[in-house]
Amino acid sequence: MRISKIWKICVLGMVALVLQACSSMPDSAPQNTGNTEHVKTQIPPPFAITTQSLRTERIDRVLAELVSENIVPGLSVLIYEGETETYYGAAGHSDIDAKIPLKRSDVGRYYSMTKPVVGVAMMMLYEQGKFKLDDPLSKYLPEYANMKVYVGENPVGTLKLEAAKRAITIRDLMRHTSGLAYGFAPTPIDTLYNETGVLSFDRNLEQFSQKLAAMPLLYQPGTQFNYSVSTDVQGRLVELFSEQTLGDFLKENIFKPLGMTHTGFSVKASDRAKFGPVYQHGKTGLSPLRDGSPKLPLGMDVDRPFLTDVAFESGGSGLVSTIDDYAKFALMLQRNDGTLIKPATLAMMRKDQLGDMPKGHLGAGTSFGLNFAVKTTPKGTGEYPVPKGTFYWGGMAGTAFFIDDKNDLTFIMHMQVFSRNNTNIRARMAKAIYGNTP
């Protein structure tokens, strides 16, 4: 009897399913149109999970996180493998208040990413026989003869100085072992730079160099890495060797040949609308910086140097650019085909030039070549998780690039924010690019 009841329930269930299926059928049979060809339903193929798709997902996620965590107002990343663009992504805003999304065409302050460009300019002139790397700087700029070096303070508070034990060389300028300072650090020499306005936008490079040379060095030349205004002195040398202004030499010999039409020491009139604010972190989050802000070091301005025709063309931090423009420069380095400098010259630039010298703030696993930082340990070691041999640099407003020969990969990142987190941002992005690969 129990089996009979179960059987009846099953039969009733089957009937209900049939009725339900029939209820979705048309009331009458379809008319025969004479076309008996079967039309297949178009089902999209499944999304292929590849190494590249996983990398794209990781980078997209980090971009979104950096904006949502209020670390950056907006940023973009561009990656090439060989000559092929394999990633571009952007998130956030170039102008938060105006709610303008960050665009690929945005023009920004590339600050210290000027240094590799000036390094290439120097080495173009080196290949022309204008100088040797170990020439004393005073051979070309006599104001740097007989330099004094800071060694402490006298009881009355004045600086205690000694004579430089050797001359500053051009190699010292390019690997930041000149003994010069910058103005950012809490040292008496940095304070002197600030008090005297050594990096004033109202002096040309010749005047800047003469004023700088009258100040003591922070360290003995050739004894340790200290990030400094050395590249601005290189800018003066480019002028001297080429008999052109630094801006004209870069335009004619680097920007024009590479098609870098949005790069220079000032923003083009046609690019003004693409040039947004630069941001800072404060108690209330991100806010735009303005010229004259007491929070800016060295008495610097963030708009005037790029929007007006100032006298100082800074070889260390003066260029504006776009992510695609700077990619053209970086790809030239990646190709290493002799377009601007010979492969042997680039090999010298990306070689560790410091050896066992103290390396200052460069961090574990990193050294310095000629106007580039160089990763000297494997990817899984050191503070910057990129492969050994990768060479790179970044700018004060967060822009960054690196060239990884091992994987034939070129990376460029664009943002406009002064942040103590920039090193961490670059490390997070590198981890997103490489994942768990060795």
| Residues 92-141: tens digit of each pLDDT | 999 999 999 999 999 999 999 999 999 999 999 999 999 999 999 999 99
Residue 37, domain member (yes or no): no
Average pLDDT over residues 413-424: 91
Residue 263, domain member (yes or no): yes
- Judged by DSSP in three states, 153 sits in strand
- Judged by DSSP in three states, 160 sits in strand
Buried b (16+ CB within 10 A) or exposed e, 267-291: beeebeebbbbbbbbeeeebbbbee
In this model, does residue 38 exceed pLDDT 50? no
Residue 13, domain member (yes or no): no
Q: What is the pLDDT of residue 47?
A: 55
User: Is residue 339 within 8 Å of 346, Cβ to Cβ?
Assistant: no
Q: What is the pLDDT of residue 17?
A: 33
Residue 21, domain member (yes or no): no
What is the greatest pairwise CA distance in the chain? 116
Taking the CA atoms of 281, 392, 170 and 205 in sequence, report the sign of the dihedral they define.
Answer: negative
Residue 231, domain member (yes or no): yes
**Rounded CA separation 184/229 (Å):** 11
Residue 304, domain member (yes or no): yes
In this model, does residue 380 exceed pLDDT 50? yes
CA atoms in the 13 A half-sphere facing the CB of 163: 5
Report the DSSP beta bridge partners of residue 159: 153
Q: Give the model's confidence band at 8: pLDDT under 50 very low, under 70 low, under 90 confident, else very high.
A: very low
Higher pLDDT, 51 or 416: 416
In this model, does residue 44 exceed pLDDT 80? no
The amino acid occupying position 308 is T
- Judged by DSSP in three states, 418 sits in strand
User: What integer best gives the mean pLDDT of the chain?
Assistant: 90
Average pLDDT over residues 162-188: 97
Average pLDDT over residues 224-232: 98
CATH number, domain containing residue 325: 3.40.710.10
Q: Give the model's confidence band at 295: pLDDT under 50 very low, under 70 low, under 90 confident, else very high.
A: confident
Residue 7, domain member (yes or no): no
Higher pLDDT, 8 or 180: 180
Q: Which residues contact 122 (CB under 8 A, 6 or more apart)?
A: 170, 174, 234, 237, 238, 370, 371
In this model, does residue 10 exceed pLDDT 70? no
- What region does 222 belong to: left with phi over 0, alpha with psi -120 to 50, or beta? left
Q: 391 is written with which tokens?
A: 């060479």
Q: Give the model's confidence band at 282: pLDDT under 50 very low, under 70 low, under 90 confident, else very high.
A: confident
Q: Give the model's confidence band at 420: pLDDT under 50 very low, under 70 low, under 90 confident, else very high.
A: confident
**Rounded CA separation 240/246 (Å):** 9
Report the DSSP beta bridge partners of residue 373: 368, 392
Domain count of the chain? 1
- Domain containing 233 equals 51-434
Q: Give the model's confidence band at 293: pLDDT under 50 very low, under 70 low, under 90 confident, else very high.
A: confident
**Rounded CA separation 392/372 (Å):** 6
Average pLDDT over residues 271-284: 94
Higher pLDDT, 297 or 88: 88
Residue 46, domain member (yes or no): no
Residue with tokens 């000694």: 162
pTM above 0.75, yes or no: yes
β-strands 108-111, 319-321 pairing: antiparallel
Q: What is the pLDDT of residue 11?
A: 35
